[in-house]
Amino acid sequence: MTRTEPARNPKPVTLTDVARLAGVSVATASKALNGRDQVAPATRQRVIEAADRLAFSPNPLARGLIAGRTGTVGLLTSDLVGRFVLPILTGAEDAFGAGQVNVFLCDARGDAIREQHHLRALLSRRVDGLIVVGERTDPRPSLGPDIPVPVVYVYAPSDDPADLSLTPDNTGAARLAVEHLVGSGRTRIAHISGDPAYAAAQDRAVGTREALAAAGLELVGDVMFSDWTEHWGRDAAALLLEHHPDVDAILCGSDQIARGVLDTARDLGRRVPEDIAVMGFDNWEVLTTNSRPQLTSIDANLQHLGRTAAQRVFAALDGVDVGHGIQYLPTRLVIRGSTIARR
């Protein structure tokens, strides 16, 4: 007798079962359970007990048939690592308090065919709306205008300006970072970033330059682009410290790069943060909180992004005009020991 033997498995209990056990009609049972006030207290009690006894839980889809809304959104992603999509998912679920929203995540792995396949599956399952998440902030192809439910693009914006997209404000984020460094007394600031083909790399570089200019400073050397790895962080830092030994802060394009930079700094005997401040980007906890010292970083507020996306989906369902185009949401500075000495 295994749980995986379908023949043995009971059907889910329906309102009809409850009504029968309580000796009332389905309508009465429905009213009793939904707190309508046209039911005798004794009857209500009986129904509730029956429901409890049968462990009844209403079929949300049947409710959705009537309400025209199921409280479920589909989350289409291509973020294999899940670094971005999972916080976004969590945020979306919490958009209206616990247990109000269901999110179904499907992974398309960057494949248009798979995306269509999942899209169909989600739509036929009556999701109220869709959230589409990509793993970089470069525009991605729109799902098109023919989706029968509201769609919000998150992190990776849609390439169609008629769509609504929510993405972190990377330019502003870099500004935050530089202001933090300058505010804590740094003046010789360099920027080691990742793959220049990423919009995120470009936006952060622009923001860095702008904020430096605003503070009357100039970047030490050029922005160093290559890839988003620790390895590059190590190499770049070695190069940088050789050519510009007087650098007193390194803003990195990702936490991984920052980890590499920390390694090299240590190898070369530079103390962090005393001699050099090091900052990461993305606030990926497994990297930031485990390094020596812990990494100051920029958090993209992904949960907030997810929450906002879900709220927009349901607002659109309510007929509210939620706007369109790319909306840039604020990021958050997380200060740790790599920029400010403890105590």
Question: Which of 38, 124 has the CB closer to a copy of itself?
Answer: 124
> Cβ 12 to a copy of itself, closest distance in Å?
5
Residue 11 CA: distances (Å) to CA of 5, 17, 54, 225, 254: 13, 11, 12, 59, 51
Give the separation between CA 16 and CA 200, rounded to whole angstroms. Answer: 55
- Which residue is listed with tokens 């970047």? 219
Question: Which of 59, 289 has the CB closer to DNA?
Answer: 59
- Which residue is listed with tokens 């200019």? 213
Give the separation between CA 107 and CA 77, rounded to whole angstroms. Answer: 5
Q: Which two structure tokens, joined as six digits, stand for 293?
A: 């010292």
Among 39, 50, 76, 86, binds a copy of itself (CB under 8 A): 86
In single-letter form, the type of residue at position 49 comes to E
Q: How many residues bind a copy of itself (CB under 8 A)?
A: 86
Provide the binding-site residues for DNA, judged by CB under 7 A: 11-12, 14-16, 23-28, 30-31, 33-34, 36, 38-44, 56, 58-59, 61-66, 68
Among 202, 256, 301, 311, binds a copy of itself (CB under 8 A): 256
Give the separation between CA 222 and CA 20, rounded to whole angstroms. Answer: 76
Q: Which does 95 bind (CB under 5 to 8 A by kind): DNA, a copy of itself, none?
A: none
Question: Which of 13, 315 has the CB closer to DNA?
Answer: 13
Window 100-159: residues binding a copy of itself (CB under 8 A): 102-107, 109, 111, 113-114, 116-118, 120-126, 142, 145-152
Q: Which two structure tokens, joined as six digits, stand for 306?
A: 């997810």
> Cβ 87 to a copy of itself, closest distance in Å?
9
Question: Which of 184, 229 has the CB closer to a copy of itself?
Answer: 229
- Provide the residue count of the chain: 343
For residue 288, the tally of other CB atoms under 10 A from its CB is: 22
Window 30-69: residues binding a copy of itself (CB under 8 A): 55, 57-62
Report whether the peptide linkage leading into residue 273 is cis, meaning its omega lies within 30 degrees of zero: yes
Question: Which of 35, 145 has the CB closer to a copy of itself?
Answer: 145
Among 11, 97, 112, 343, binds a copy of itself (CB under 8 A): 11
> Cβ 9 to DNA, closest distance in Å?
12
Q: Which does 104 bind (CB under 5 to 8 A by kind): a copy of itself, DNA, none?
A: a copy of itself
Residue 270 CA: distances (Å) to CA of 232, 274, 296: 18, 8, 17
In the structure, how many helices (H) and strands (E) does the chain have?
A: 12, 11
Give the separation between CA 299 and CA 289, rounded to whole angstroms. Answer: 13
> Cβ 29 to DNA, closest distance in Å?
7
With beta carbons less than 8 A apart as the criterion, state whether 200 and 254 touch: no
Contact call for residue 268 and a copy of itself (CB under 8 A): no
Contact call for residue 274 and a copy of itself (CB under 8 A): no
> Cβ 179 to DNA, closest distance in Å?
52
Question: Which of 47, 85 has the CB closer to a copy of itself?
Answer: 85
Close Cβ partners of 175 (under 8 Å, ≥ 6 residues apart): 207, 208, 210, 211, 214
Contact call for residue 90 and a copy of itself (CB under 8 A): yes
